[in-house]
């Protein structure tokens, strides 16, 4: 009779392992960079600096936007019009046409000049313009009501804008809206004041008047153009 012999050897702990079997950490200790390169310092400084110096006259529309809105004004306005260009900053985007009268009302305190207030008579203007500034209106209902007062019957109010803004100065209502939401917001500004016709949104050009450059600009996601237009109802 054959006796079964075990094939496994008794287990023994290795009380003296070789150095290669001991766990070796793969990560080096973290060290702060106490002497960063000048490029790194400049990058951080630029991120913390204001967008514009306090005494600057900033702008957030590009050349194509300006050409497009100037073209729209040329199409909508007539030489016999008396025009009020509101919040136009230091640069008015009116075309180089001879209007019966044009008043450029500033946005910056240093730009207001001789028109610090809108103390004009009722029904003074045939057209009122507001370019790339509607996003800063703290009381838009009062603003649109005042524009209605200044317009003559059938006078036109053109509000144009893009998605650009000075973030720290724009209203929360504007900052929190999408591109399409901003259009609806401006339309609602018109509708909250009785006396305007149904607002018309102009998201893209139409007709032979517009150039290919302007058309391609309107399709750009970088600086999309939009205008909302309405007229004062005839009494």
H or E element that contains 44? helix 38-48
DSSP-derived 3-state class of residue 128: strand
Judged against a pLDDT cut of 80, whether residue 227 lies above it is answered with yes
Give exposure, 5-33, as e/b (b: 16+ Cβ within 10 Å). eeeeeeeeeeeeeeeeeeeeeeeeeeeee
Judged against a pLDDT cut of 50, whether residue 41 lies above it is answered with no
- pLDDT score of 179: 86
Task: List, in sequence order, the alpha helices (H) in 77-209.
Answer: 140-150, 172-175, 179-191
Sign of the dihedral through C-alpha 135, 139, 140, 142: negative
* Residues across the chain: 235
- Asked whether residue 3 is domain-assigned, the answer is no
Quick: pLDDT tens for 137-175: 889 999 999 999 999 999 999 999 987 777 788 888 888
- pLDDT score of 130: 93
- Asked whether residue 34 is domain-assigned, the answer is no
- Asked whether residue 228 is domain-assigned, the answer is yes
Residue 215 binned pLDDT confidence (cut-offs 50, 70, 90): very low
- pLDDT score of 209: 38
- Asked whether residue 53 is domain-assigned, the answer is no
- Asked whether residue 13 is domain-assigned, the answer is no
- pLDDT score of 13: 67
Quick: pLDDT tens for 46-84: 333 333 444 444 555 778 888 888 999 999 999 999 999
Q: Provide the whole-model pTM.
A: 0.65
- pLDDT score of 29: 61
Between 118 and 135, whose confidence is greater?
135
Number of structural domains found in the chain: 1
- Asked whether residue 71 is domain-assigned, the answer is no
What is the span of the domain harbouring residue 173? 79-204+222-232
- Asked whether residue 12 is domain-assigned, the answer is no
- Asked whether residue 61 is domain-assigned, the answer is no
- pLDDT score of 89: 61
- pLDDT score of 66: 85
Q: What is the dihedral of CA 114, 119, 122, 124, to 10 degrees?
A: 10
Quick: pLDDT tens for 75-116: 999 999 999 998 876 667 788 778 888 888 766 555 445 555
**What is the CATH number for 131?**
3.40.50.150
Q: Between the ranges 3-7, 23-27, 83-87, 202-206, where is the mean pLDDT highest?
A: 83-87
Distance CA(225)–CA(196), nearest Å, equals 22
Share of the chain above pLDDT 90, in %: 33
Distance CA(94)–CA(129), nearest Å, equals 9
């Amino acid at each position: 009779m054959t006796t079964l012999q075990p094939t496994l050897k008794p287990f023994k702990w290795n009380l003296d392992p070789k150095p290669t079997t001991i766990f070796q950490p793969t990560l080096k200790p973290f060290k702060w960079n106490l002497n960063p390169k000048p490029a790194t310092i400049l990058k951080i400084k630029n991120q913390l600096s204001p967008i514009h110096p306090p005494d600057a006259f900033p702008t957030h529309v590009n050349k194509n936007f300006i050409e497009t809105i100037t073209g729209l004004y040329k199409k909508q306005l007539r030489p016999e019009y008396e025009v009020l260009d509101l919040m136009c900053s230091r640069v008015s985007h009116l075309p180089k046409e001879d209007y019966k009268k044009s008043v450029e009302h500033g946005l910056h305190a240093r730009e207001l000049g001789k028109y610090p207030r809108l103390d004009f008579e009722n029904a003074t203007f045939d057209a009122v313009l507001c370019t790339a500034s509607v996003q800063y209106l703290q009381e838009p209902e009062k603003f649109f009501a005042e524009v209605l007062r200044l317009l003559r019957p059938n006078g036109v109010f053109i509000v144009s804008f893009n998605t650009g803004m000075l973030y720290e100065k724009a209203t929360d209502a504007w900052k929190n809206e999408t591109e399409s939401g901003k259009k609806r917001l401006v339309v609602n500004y018109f509708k909250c004041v009785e006396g305007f016709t149904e607002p018309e949104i102009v998201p893209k050009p139409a007709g032979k008047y517009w150039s290919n450059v302007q058309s391609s600009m309107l399709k750009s996601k970088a600086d999309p153009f939009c205008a909302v237009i309405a007229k004062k109802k005839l009494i």
